[in-house]
Amino acid sequence: MSATYKAIQVTKPGEFATVMKPLVDPGPGQVRIRVEACGVCHSDSGTVEGAFPISWPRVPGHEVVGRIDALGTGVQGWELRQRVGVGFLGGSCGYCEFCRNGDLVNCRNQEFTGIHSDGGYAEVMIAKATGLVRIPDDLSSADAAPLLCAGLTTFNALRNSPAKAGDLVAVLGIGGLGHLAVQYARRMGFEVAAISRGSNTAELARKLGAHHYIDSAATDPAPALQALGGAKVIVVTASGGKTIAETFKGLRPGGVSIDLGVGPDPVEVTSVDLIFGERKVAGSLTGNPAAGDATLRFSMLSGVSAMIETVPLEEAPAAYAKMMAGKARFRIVLVTKNGSGQAEQAK
Ligand SMILES: [Zn+2]
Ligand SMILES: [Zn+2]
């Protein structure tokens, strides 16, 4: 086994470098993973553009699928050669107040993959065992990768929402997150309204499972949702507080607008719209590792999949640039020489 591995790291904001790094052993509670696939996510910009405080150099990537090739001391429940996934949340500590209360997502000592520790734009990565997700045998590594962040984020937000089967759920923005949110919402039994700008997304939205398509460039989406009875939940995948405000009045009483898209704008809704109708604005941050397991299982069972384009790891900088330019349709996945990106069964 080679003593070095290839990684695409960021040396300073906006600058990628391909390097060979020495192979290191996993520390206590960690595993070493031979990376097979890693999705390119918009949140990678937090690393690449240096939006978070970063200790340079740093390897981005938090939609990682690979095979465990070394176990650190004290790791239980995971085996060598097992295929695992790593998402944005790098693993809970187990001892803080939030962990002890069962709220692993909000662990006070949680590291963000690819931000506080090196991520999956590499042939090898070290991960905390408490953050690992199980990859179903029938799911290829490349197909599983985007489900670990974009999938988990949308699946978990819908799953924990107050919507029940038959309720109207709106998905705002049909991109990397939204094209998955529409599929999950449909498979969960909701009446689904997709909202995007322009008429050319209508056909895709219907193919993904939307019952209704609202072109927000031609129609004010809030009254359009009210004409359908009002949404119980609006999943906002487009970034920016403005989009939340624009659709908020489309909620029925007791409805909630769940923000998944990060943007700098404040969310401006009036207290009248909040109080009269008891509506809510909420945020949702990916999910815990068991929710990650559930995301992958549900996706397998119900036929939800991300539309992906695979490229070799070496092309990570170009893939990142394409994603940032909004030209990915809809998720780009980096694949390494470790894996063919195939499902377990196909090997
Ligand atoms: Zn992500
Ligand atoms: Zn904790």
Question: Could you give the CA distance from residue 32 to residue 253 in angstroms, rounded to a whole number?
Answer: 49
- Find where tokens 């070394």 sit: 70
37 token code pair: 């696939």
How far, CA to CA in Å, does 12 sit from each of 47, 55, 184, 215, 321? 9, 9, 37, 40, 16
CA of 88 to the centre of ligand 2 (A): 15
Closest ligand, as measured to the CA of 288: 2
Which residues are CB-neighbours of 274 under 8 A, at least 6 positions away?
Answer: 280, 281
Closest ligand, as measured to the CA of 100: 2
| pLDDT, position 345 | 44
Three-state secondary structure of 196-240: ECCHHHHHHHHHHCCCEEEECCCCCHHHHHHHCCCEEEEEECCCC
CA of 176 to the centre of ligand 1 (A): 10
Neighbours of ion ligand 1 (CB under 5 A): 41, 43, 149
CA of 2 to the centre of ligand 1 (A): 30
In degrees rounded to 5, what are phi and psi of residue 91?
125, 135
CA of 106 to the centre of ligand 2 (A): 7
CA of 237 to the centre of ligand 2 (A): 27
CA of 289 to the centre of ligand 2 (A): 13
Closest ligand, as measured to the CA of 128: 2
CA of 224 to the centre of ligand 1 (A): 30
CA of 254 to the centre of ligand 2 (A): 32
CA of 157 to the centre of ligand 2 (A): 21
pLDDT one digit per residue (tens) for the chain, 347 residues:
579 999 999 999 999 999 999 999 999 999 999 999 999 999 999 999 998 899 999 999 999 999 999 999 999 999 999 999 999 999 999 999 999 999 999 999 999 999 999 999 999 999 999 999 999 999 999 999 999 999 999 999 999 999 999 999 999 999 999 999 999 999 999 999 999 999 999 999 999 999 999 999 999 999 999 999 999 999 999 876 888 998 999 999 999 999 998 888 899 999 999 999 999 999 999 999 999 999 999 999 999 999 999 999 999 999 999 999 999 999 999 999 997 545 554 33
Closest ligand, as measured to the CA of 177: 1
pTM: 0.95
CA of 328 to the centre of ligand 1 (A): 14
Listed residue (33, 262, 64) closest to 147, CA to CA: 64
Closest ligand, as measured to the CA of 93: 2
Question: Could you give the CA distance from residue 324 to residue 307 in angstroms, rounded to a whole number?
Answer: 17
CA of 267 to the centre of ligand 2 (A): 29
CA of 277 to the centre of ligand 1 (A): 33
CA of 338 to the centre of ligand 2 (A): 32
CA of 286 to the centre of ligand 1 (A): 8
- The partner residues of 39 in beta bridges, in order of sequence, read 333
Element (H, E) at 297: helix 289-302
279 token code pair: 């509506």
Which residues are CB-neighbours of 89 under 8 A, at least 6 positions away?
Answer: 104, 105, 107, 110, 112, 113, 131, 285, 286, 288, 289
Q: Classify residue 206 as exposed, middle or buried by CB count within 10 Å of its CB (0-12, 13-18, 19+).
A: middle
Please, are residues 61 and 127 in contact by the beta-carbon 8 Å criterion? no
DSSP string, 299-310: HHHHT----EEE
